[in-house]
Amino acid sequence: MMKRFVRRALAPLLAHLLACAVALACGLAAAEPRPQPPEVAARQYILVDLTSQQVLAESAADQRAEPASLTKLMTAYLVFNAIRDRKLTLEQTLPVSVRAWNERGSGRKGGASLMFIDPKMTPHVDELLHGLIVHSGNDAAVALAEGVAGSVEAFVAAMTRQAEAWGLKNTQFRNVTGVTEPSHYSSARDVAFVAAKIITEHPTLFPIYRVKSYTFNGIKQDNRNRLLSRDVTVDGMKTGRTDAAGWCLVATAVRDTPAGKRRLLSVVLGAASDEGRAGESHKLLNWGYTAWDAVKLFEPGQALATVPVWKGAASEARLGVAAPLVVSVPRGEGARLQPSLTRTDPLVAPLAAGQVVGTVKVATTGGTAVASVPLVALQEVPLAGWFGRAWDGLRLWIR
């Protein structure tokens, strides 16, 4: 009965952690008092600490908005998946369709971004990715979509399926470029989620986002992310702009802290200008690093408790966390943190290493919740022999 109760109690937590690997969907409460974020001149924004998996600040983060070229984050993510799954290689060449080439027409009419490919060319996937990310090329997006899925329509359907699989309620795609189109929308929180997936799942391809300029076919174009040149800690990610969306920027930075390297991610939608999106994003990032402290509480493999195990080949098991437990708290509040453990009792073999057996909760002395993560077994405990199982079964019955 107790084990069923614990499983039921932990199920919502585990589902949340799996669906929101970086806790972008809602964030965890921080220790009081919560710092007041700066005034941000944008329609929507969100600031996420990817190291502690907490949302530090947000405004209208779930409001649906046009994502403009931030759409290309999902485009790139699916291409990265295809490379990971060996459906494409960076060295592979792809044809340029008339449809991709025709994006030049939209460029002449509406100022769309391009890498300037044409049907006579057979660019490498690596070149197209640089065109997609550094140049924000609509033509590169179409060529890659066709190369991965066979058609733009099939690729857009895959984009929407991925968003649905992640549980992104405020995202729907109608194209691979971000051009204004009915029912093509996202939100600051959803955009942050996709960006975080790229950072965490594709660390070998993510560095393309920090490339400051790229030359293709003799045409050199600069990355439109101004923060790459202003702050050496900023190492990506993506800009976007349409008349309807305004000026948008996803920016991420990594800085050294006493708790180790700490990565923040900001999303600013609907700023008034190119300079505005850069300035407001930088303001958010700097505030996140100065107003909040990162506190590392536990390392993976560190035993937080050693507890009895019933019916096991070993009589005890060490319990801890599977990943470093880092939390973000208002500056100077780290000393007020109080961790606590709840666990399955009785703990009965067999146990697998990494098996969830409880919860580690972190709160302030005032009782404000800061973090909640699974408590796991740090070692395997196989079943004991028949006599040991029988003896412990008797003891459990008496207990």
Cα 344 to Cα 362: distance, rounded to the nearest angstrom: 18
Q: Is 2 left (phi over 0), alpha (psi -120 to 50) or beta?
A: alpha
User: Residue 72 catalytic?
Assistant: yes
Residue labelled with tokens 């405020």: 170
Residue 104 · residue 69 · CB < 8 Å: no
CA atoms within 13 A on the CB side of 264: 28
Catalytic hit among 3, 52, 59, 72: 72
Cα 366 to Cα 31: distance, rounded to the nearest angstrom: 8
Contacts of 281 (CB under 8 A, 6+ apart): 227, 249, 251, 266, 268
Catalytic hit among 52, 69, 113, 328: 69
Catalytic hit among 52, 113, 136, 266: 136
Dihedral of CA 367/297/50/331: which sign?
Answer: positive
Residue 396 · residue 312 · CB < 8 Å: no
Compute how many other C-beta atoms are within 10 angstroms of the C-beta atom of residue 126: 15
Hey, what amino acid is at 158?
A: A
Dihedral of CA 71/74/80/82: which sign?
Answer: negative
Q: Give the orientation angle of helix 188-201 with respect to helix 72-84, to 10 degrees.
A: 20
User: Residue 120 catalytic?
Assistant: no
User: Residue 266 catalytic?
Assistant: no
Nearest to 239 by CA among 163, 168, 135, 141: 135
Cα 150 to Cα 399: distance, rounded to the nearest angstrom: 64
What positions carry a catalytic annotation? 69, 72, 136
